[in-house]
């Protein structure tokens, strides 16, 4: 039986991806900061382990408890929407800590085992926002663009050990709690700079129009894309997930 370890399974894409692998007979290590928050269906192929991806001790404990891992899905991530000038450096470091540095730390934790077994796959969750420039997402896009670059180069380093690496780019998913969490963070960090008020209003209207246009991403879209990235050797290096992400990747 093949085993997948997924980060950030308390909700959203991570939860859906864990359920998707379970339904297909995989052994699933669903990790989350607070395992009591799990809403995954009980299964003898499911283990729920505590993991804060920004904490080195937590990573060491979770990966030791998980044992051999065939596929790692780096899904845990945080959003941030603000101008460069409206982003405190501490916030930027937190975004990069979760979205980028934790992804590297998780890869470093599982790669020795995969190398020894000469097989494995890493699937990192990026963002379709990296497909074209978008205002107020400078810091978030920078963190996710780095995930793309990281994954593409790592794939070249790892191929000779029989390990694949892929990056999945979800589009905008209004049904997960991602947007609400980011909005609460913005409010807690002083909101938008006054000088940008008109621009922010205009940009938000554009985003709401996009969300209402119908072309959005569902958690199921992402789970299917992750499964393909994990199992299909012919899967493209960079895989958009969701109708809007696919349209953007085709320049539409
Ligand atoms: N939703 C979108 O529109 C969208 C679009 C493109 C890409 N993405 C990316 O897709 C991924 C998942 O997004 P989502 O929409 O499912 O978001 P979500 O509903 O907000 O879920 C985020 C998950 O990440 C976890 N997490 C955050 N910080 C963590 C940490 N330090 N350690 C462990 N887990 C942590 C959260 O756990 P807690 O419950 O403990 O907070 C939660 O399980 C993220 O990488 C995000 O950047 C999302």
Per-residue pLDDT tens for 124-181?
Answer: 999 999 999 999 999 999 999 999 999 999 999 999 999 999 999 999 998 999 989 9
What distance in angstroms lies between residue 99's CA and the mean position of ligand 1's atoms? 9
The CA-to-CA distance between both ends of the chain, in Å, stands at: 40
CA 237 to chain centre: 15
Is the pTM above the cut of 0.75? yes
Tell me, what's the pLDDT at 209? 82
pLDDT at 145: 98
d(CA 153, CA 229): 16
pLDDT at 212: 77
pLDDT value of position 105: 99
Contacts with 209 (C-beta within 8 Å, 6 or more apart), sequence order: none
CA distance 216 to 16: 16
All residues at 6 or more sequence positions from 205 whose CB lies less than 8 Å from its CB, including other chains? none
Show the CA angle centred on residue 26, arms to residues 225 and 228, nearest 5°.
20
Tokens of 213: 């246009």
- Backbone angle region of 190, left / alpha / beta, with phi > 0 → left and psi within -120 to 50 → alpha: left
Kindly report the backbone phi and psi dihedral angles of residue 232, in degrees, each rounded to the nearest multiple of 5, phi listed first. Answer: -100, 110
Question: What pLDDT score was predicted for residue 213?
Answer: 74
Both tokens assigned to 186: 């913005």
How many domains does the chain divide into? Answer: 1
Q: Report the atom number in ligand 1 closest to the C-alpha of 74.
A: 45
Gyration radius of the chain's alpha carbons = 18
Q: Which residues of the chain are under the pLDDT cut of 50?
A: none
CATH number for the domain spanning 13: value is: 3.40.50.720
CB 144 within 8 A of CB 215: no
Q: Whose CA is nearest to atom 34 of ligand 1?
A: 8
Domain that holds residue 138: 3-249
Whole-angstrom Cα distance, residue 218 to residue 215?
10
Contacts of 33 (CB under 8 A, 6+ apart): 10, 50, 51, 52
Q: How far apart are CA 208 and CA 29, in angstroms?
A: 36
Distance 94 CA to ligand 1 centre (A): 13
Cβ proximity of 188 and 147 under 8 Å: no
Q: Name residues contacting ligand 1 (CB within 6 A).
A: 7-8, 10-14, 32-34, 37, 51-54, 75-79, 98, 125, 127, 170, 172-173, 176-178, 181
Structure tokens at 101: 């540095």
- What's the gap in Å between 224 CA and the centre of ligand 1? 17
């Amino acid at each position: 039986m093949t085993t997948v370890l997924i980060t950030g399974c308390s909700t959203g894409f991570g939860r859906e991806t864990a359920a998707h692998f379970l339904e297909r007979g995989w052994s699933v290590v669903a990790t989350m900061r607070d395992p009591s928050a799990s809403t995954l269906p009980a299964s003898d192929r499911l283990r729920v382990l505590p993991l804060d991806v920004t904490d080195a001790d937590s990573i060491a404990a979770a990966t030791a408890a998980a044992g051999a891992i065939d596929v790692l899905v780096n899904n845990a991530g945080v959003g941030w929407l603000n101008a460069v000038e409206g982003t405190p450096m501490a916030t930027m470091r937190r975004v990069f800590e979760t979205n980028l540095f934790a992804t590297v730390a998780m890869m470093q934790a599982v790669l020795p085992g995969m190398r020894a077994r000469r097989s494995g796959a890493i699937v990192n969750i990026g963002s379709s926002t990296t497909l074209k420039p978008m205002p107020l997402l400078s810091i978030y896009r920078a963190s996710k663009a780095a995930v793309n670059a990281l994954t593409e180069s790592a794939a070249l380093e790892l191929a000779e050990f029989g390990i694949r690496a892929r990056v999945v780019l979800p589009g905008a998913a209004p049904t997960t709690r991602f947007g609400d969490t980011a909005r609460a963070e913005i409010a807690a960090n002083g909101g938008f700079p006054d000088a940008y008020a008109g621009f922010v209003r205009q940009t938000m209207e554009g985003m709401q129009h996009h969300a209402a246009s119908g072309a959005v991403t569902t958690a199921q879209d992402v789970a299917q894309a992750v499964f393909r990235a994990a199992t299909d050797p012919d899967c493209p290096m960079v895989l958009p997930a969701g109708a809007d992400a696919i349209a953007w990747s085709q320049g539409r």
